[in-house]
Structure 1
Amino acid sequence: MEKNESNPFEESALTTILVVSDLAKSKDFYINILGAKIFREYGGDSLVLEFLGNWILLVTPGGPTEDKPETQFVAPENKNRVSHSYTIRVKDCNKSYQILMKRGADFITPPFTRGAETRCFFRDPDDHLFEISEFRG
């Protein structure tokens, strides 16, 4: 970017929108299992969370609007077909796995170690995929 070019994202933040089928169930998962904090709630159909220095906006399914006329927000329909995933780098994958298991996270497998990385995956109530990963460089 040239020095005299404006930055379109000055003082901005990135928010990820996740479509969820049951807001109360998802709220419980993100707060009580992952430890996210509520930033703001909107009329019972959306919730803004702060998680690891990032924003996550949980919304219920919805149809097109004037500013997105052909776009529908839908929850994942097949847990085995992923188009979005989170990776959380952790200090100790096995320790994080044990803590999250005790809180009720449903892991696909226990942690696997491949070379310098140990990782495992779990899903939220709507099957959004999360990975915890430890890298020993």
Structure 2
Amino acid sequence: MAKFPAPAEGIVLAHFIVASDIGRSQRFYAEVLGGEVLRDGEPSIVALANGWIIINAGGPPTDDKPTVTLEPPHDLDHVSSFLNIRVADIHAVYQQWRNRGAQFLTPPSDRGPELRCYMRDPDGHLIEVG
């Protein structure tokens, strides 16, 4: 089992997403992408490769982020950040994840120095696979 992302020293990088249905998103990152659920509930934590996806519900501002409201994406055509997953064999991963239910925008595309394609999680968060 993967360890909870709490380093004894240095830093650990995790990707936080806001989900309208935490369980649905947890299943996507675990069952479709092959992650391991470390924590159920709010927040849910899924170990994915050498990183972690933290999934939580949205909410109003808090005292440590007084003007920030957390919510899933509303306009899927305007994105300010996305998860980037690098894989050894994009064609094999593309087929495997499609077979598990991943919704890709296009098949892998040869961009010269890289092959890449994009998909969305259940709430519409953009994910690049390259």
Instruction: Please confirm whether the aligned pair reaches a TM-score higher than 0.5, indicating the same fold.
Output: yes
Q: Number of paired residues?
A: 123
Structure 1 residues 115 and 32, CA, compared in 2 at 3 Å: closer, same or farther? same
- 1:18 is paired with a residue of what secondary structure? strand
Find the partner of 2:51 among 50, 54, 59. Answer: 54
- 1:12 is paired with a residue of what secondary structure? coil
Please state if 1:23 is matched with 2:22: yes
Shift of the alpha carbon at 1:78? 0.9
Q: Structure 2 regions of 5+ residues with no counterpart?
A: 1-7
Q: TM-score, normalised by structure 2?
A: 0.86
Q: Which residue of 2 aligns with 1:95?
A: 92
Higher Rg of the two aligned structures: 1
Shift of the alpha carbon at 1:14? 2.1
Amino acid at match of 2:122: P
Q: TM-score, normalised by structure 1?
A: 0.82
- Report if aligned partners of 2:19, 2:55 keep a CA contact under 8 Å in 1: yes
Between the aligned partners of 1:50 and 1:84, the Cα distance in structure 2 is: 20
Q: Which residue of 1 aligns with 2:37?
A: 38
Could you give the per-residue CA deviations for residues 72-92 of structure 1, whole angstroms, max 9, x where no partner exists?
Answer: 111111111111112212122
**Hey, which of these two has a bigger chunk of strand by percent?**
1
Q: Which residue of 1 aligns with 2:12?
A: 13
Q: Percent identity?
A: 39
Give the RMSD, CA atoms, in angstroms.
1.6
Shift of the alpha carbon at 1:10? 3.8
